[in-house]
């Protein structure tokens, strides 16, 4: 199979194919039914799913502007930054190991940097945030064990929240560089994914501090919480329409192993629901 030949052929009937493949637009109707079938038949299942992702979709309606999406991200980052401030300021912090204190201080620095970046970008976009989100004081645990439990729930939720908005950033044109006043050139999708990757490392390290696996397994001590549920639960074994249990090339994986291979998205409504982060906002 010659991937580039497929792209060339697609370009002959759809001059915007490269734009579609990075999901800036999503309308499959420009390709005839026969052409669509031909493209799918000529590619393996995963590549077929890739093209389906590029062309399937919507009528072009945006799911929020870049500023709206970044304000949502800022809300989450402010919540986390304030939580870690409360951890550092808590009466039990000083009695923890040097390694534990260093880890939490470093994570706090990351969250503060995320808040600063998102705030600067929003100001440069002419849509500065006028609110500051804090962690509800009454929901903050007094003991170290409880604080680490909340930290895990916050970080895992944040990772899934960023993943849930990636498609919205693309739909809003966020794959293109933007010149932001007072900031410079910003690629919204790149910025979001860079933060997402750091949040994932936070989640893994907090889990390590709690003697849990660095990834969501479904069998962890907190995995029954609502934070790990949603329209697409963490227990799913299907990705891009493909059942992972049937495409393992002769290898045998358990349902739990397949489910643990991917994190699932949480929508803004799910993240801010009172059963998840919504109950922690001060």
N- to C-terminal Cα distance for the chain?
55
Which domains occur in the chain, in start order?
A: 3-55 (no CATH), 66-231+264-280 (1.20.1260)
Q: Is the pLDDT of residue 178 over 60?
A: yes
Model pLDDT, residue 248: 64
Q: What's the CA gap between 236 and 225, in Å, rounded?
A: 16
Model pLDDT, residue 97: 98
Model pLDDT, residue 228: 87
Give residue-wise pLDDT tens across range 204-248. Answer: 999 999 999 999 988 899 988 888 888 988 989 998 888 888 876
Higher pLDDT, 10 or 182: 182
Q: Is the pLDDT of residue 1 over 70?
A: no
The mean pLDDT value for 48-66 works out to 45
Higher pLDDT, 167 or 34: 167
The mean pLDDT value for 116-121 works out to 92
What is the number of other CB atoms lying within 10 angstroms of the CB of residue 2? 9
Q: What's the CA gap between 118 and 67, in Å, rounded?
A: 10
As given in the structure block, the two tokens for residue 199 are 């949040």
Task: Give the model's confidence band at 271: pLDDT under 50 very low, under 70 low, under 90 confident, else very high.
Answer: very high
The mean pLDDT value for 34-52 works out to 42
Task: Give the model's confidence band at 77: pLDDT under 50 very low, under 70 low, under 90 confident, else very high.
Answer: very high
């Amino acid at each position: 199979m010659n991937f580039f030949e497929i792209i060339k052929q697609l370009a002959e009937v759809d001059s915007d194919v490269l734009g579609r493949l990075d999901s800036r637009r999503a309308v499959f109707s420009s390709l005839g039914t026969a052409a669509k079938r031909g493209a799918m038949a000529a590619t393996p299942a995963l590549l077929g799913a890739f093209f389906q992702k590029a062309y399937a979709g919507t009528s072009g309606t945006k799911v929020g502007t870049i500023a709206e999406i970044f304000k949502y991200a800022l809300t989450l980052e402010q919540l986390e930054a304030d939580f870690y401030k409360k951890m550092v300021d808590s009466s039990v912090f000083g009695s923890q190991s040097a390694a534990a204190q260093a880890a939490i201080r470093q994570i706090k620095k990351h969250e503060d940097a995320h808040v600063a970046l998102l705030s600067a970008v929003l100001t440069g976009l002419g849509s500065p945030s006028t609110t500051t989100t804090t962690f509800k004081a009454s929901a903050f645990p007094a003991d170290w064990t409880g604080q680490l439990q909340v930290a895990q729930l916050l970080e895992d939720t944040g990772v899934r929240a960023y993943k849930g908005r990636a498609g919205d950033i693309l739909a809003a044109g966020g794959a293109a560089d933007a010149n932001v006043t007072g900031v410079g050139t910003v690629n919204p999708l790149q910025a979001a994914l860079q933060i997402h990757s750091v949040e994932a490392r936070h989640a893994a390290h907090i889990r390590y501090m709690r003697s849990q696996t660095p990834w969501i397994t479904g069998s962890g001590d907190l995995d029954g919480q609502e934070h790990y549920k949603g329209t697409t639960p963490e227990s799913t074994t299907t990705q891009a329409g493909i059942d992972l249990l049937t495409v393992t090339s002769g290898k045998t994986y358990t349902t739990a192993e397949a489910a643990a291979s991917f994190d699932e998205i949480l929508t803004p409504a799910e993240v801010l629901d009172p059963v998840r982060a919504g109950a922690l906002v001060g």
